[in-house]
A and B are shown apart, each in its own frame.
Chain A
Amino acid sequence: MTDSPARIPGERAAMIWGVLATILVVAATIGVFLVAPEDADQGVIQRIFYFHVAIAITSLVAFAVSCVAGILYLRTRNDRWDDVGEASIRIGLLMSVLVVITGSIWAKASWGTWWVWSDPRLVTYLIVVLIYAAYFVLRSSAEDDRKMRYSAIYAIAGFASVPLSFYSVRVAESFVHPVVFTGSGANMPDSMLIWFVVSQAAMLALFIALLELDLVGRRSERALRRLALRLENA
C-alpha cells in the first residue's frame, strides 16, 4: 500500500514555503509602504521599485531554474524535471508580465508615458515575455515524450535568448532608466536597501512556494489517476 495518497510528497514543504512567503509578503508590503523613507526625487511612485525589481530578478531566477531543469530532463528523461521546468516557466512568465505592467506604471508616473521604446529594460522584458509565451504554444502542439523533449530544448534556447535580448537593446545605450545597482554597489541608503532585501526575499519565497504547490498539484493528480485506474481494474 505504498501509494495510498494519505500525504503527497512535498506537501509539507509547500506548506512551509507558503507560510514563509505570506509572512514575508506582508512584512514587505508594510515596510515598503509605511516604513521605508520617501524618495526625495520621485516621491511615492518610487515605492513601486521594491516590487518591480524584486519580481524582475525572481523571474530571471525562475527561467534559470527552467533551463537547468531542461538540461536535467534531457540527461535523465525523468518526468519530474519536465514538471519543474514547466511550472518555473509558468511562474516566471507571470512575473515577467507583472514586470512589464509595473514598469509601465512607473514609466507613466516618472516620464509621463506608458511606454518608452528607448528604455532598454522595459523592451527587454517585452521580448522575454514573447519568448516564454511561445513555450506554451510549442507545448500544446506536441505530444507525450516529444512534448517534454521539445520543451526542455526550448527552455534552454529561451534562456540563452534572455542575455541576448538584454544586450541587443543596450548596444545603443540609453540613460533614461534609473540605475539602482551599479558595479560599485547599491545606489540607495540602507533604510531603503533593507526593505528591498525583504521584498526580494518575499518574491523568491513566493516563487518557491508556488513551484512546490504546482508540483504537489501534479503529483496528487497523478496519484488520483492511479487510484481511479486501480478502482476500474478492481
Chain B
Amino acid sequence: MRRRQLTALVRKDLRLELRTRETIVAMVLFAIVMLAILQFGFGTRDDDLTRFTGGLMWVTLAFTAVLGVGRSYVAEREQRVLDGLLVSPVPRVVLLGAKAIAIFLYMTAVEIIVIPLVGIFFVKGPYWDSIGWIAIAALLANLCIALSGTLFSGLALFTRARDLILPVLFLPALVPVVIAGAGATHAVVGGAHDMSEWRGYCLFLAAYAILFALVSIATYDAVFDD
C-alpha cells in the first residue's frame, strides 16, 4: 500500500517535470553559470584548477541544490495539490520519502552533466579514472541533500519570504555536506588516490544521511500539522 502511494507520488513529480522541464533545465543552466562565475571569480585564467576541483564542484552543487529544493514544493503550493495530499490517507512519512526521492533524482540528473563538465573545464591532470569514486560520493551527498532539503523546504513552505528563508535555513546545514563532498573529491582527483580519506568522507556522508533521516521521520508529522 505504502509502496504504491510512494511510487504514485514520485511519478507525479517526475511526470510534471518531464512535461514542463522547468526545474532540471534551470538547475543545469544555473550550475554551468556558477562554474563560469567561479572561474572568473578567481581572477586568473589559469587552466589547471585541479587543486580546487572539489570546492568548485560542491559549491556549485550546493547552490544548485538550494535552487532545486526551493522549486520542489512549488506545484503543490501553487496548484493547491498539497491540500489534497494532506487530506488523502497518505502517511506524512510517505510524502517525505516521495519528495526526497524526487530531489535525489533531480540532483543526480544535474550531476550527470556537472561532474564531467568540471573535469573538462578545470582539471588538466588525471580525472576520468576516478570518476566512479566521485560518483559514489556524489550519490551519498545527494541522499543528504534530499533528506535535509525535504525537511527544510517543508519548514520554509508556509513562512513569509520563503524564498529567502530556505537558503538561510538550508545552507548552514549543507556546510558539512560541502566539506565532505569536496574532501572526498579532492582525495581522488589529480592523481591523488587517498582512499582512506575518501572512505572517511563517504562514511561521514552516510552518517549525515542517517541522522537527518531519523530527525525527519521523527518530526515530519509536525511539519504539516495544520
Contacts and interface: CB of A to CB of B under 8 A. Distances in A.
Contact of B172 (A130, A160, A163, A171): A130
B159 A153 contact: no
Contact of B222 (A152, A161, A169): A152
Contacts of B201: 171
A226 B16 CA distance: 51
B226 interface: yes
Given A134-B168, A152-B222, A168 B161 contact: no
B7 interface: no
A153 B212 CA distance: 12
A142 B212 CA distance: 23
B91 interface: no
A165 interface: yes
A184 interface: no
A131 interface: yes
A169 B179 contact: yes
Interface residues of A, number: 27
A41 B16 CA distance: 65
A164 interface: yes
Nearest to B161: A141
Given A146-B226, A168-B175, A156 B219 contact: yes
B223 interface: yes
B159 A141 contact: yes
Given A137-B165, A138-B155, A141-B159, A149 B179 contact: no
A150 B208 contact: no
Nearest to B226: A146
Interface string A147-175: 00110111011001101110111011000
A127 interface: yes
A169 B175 CA distance: 10
Nearest to B211: A160
19 contacts: A130-B171, A134-B168, A137-B165, A138-B155, A138-B168, A141-B161, A141-B165, A146-B159, A153-B222, A156-B218, A160-B214, A161-B176, A164-B207, A167-B207, A168-B176, A168-B208, A171-B180, A171-B183, A171-B204
Interface of A: 74, 127, 130-131, 134, 137-138, 141-142, 146, 149-150, 152-154, 156-157, 160-161, 163-165, 167-169, 171-172
Given A149-B222, A154-B155, A161-B173, 11 more contacts: A138-B169, A141-B159, A141-B162, A153-B151, A153-B155, A156-B215, A157-B215, A167-B176, A167-B204, A168-B176, A171-B204
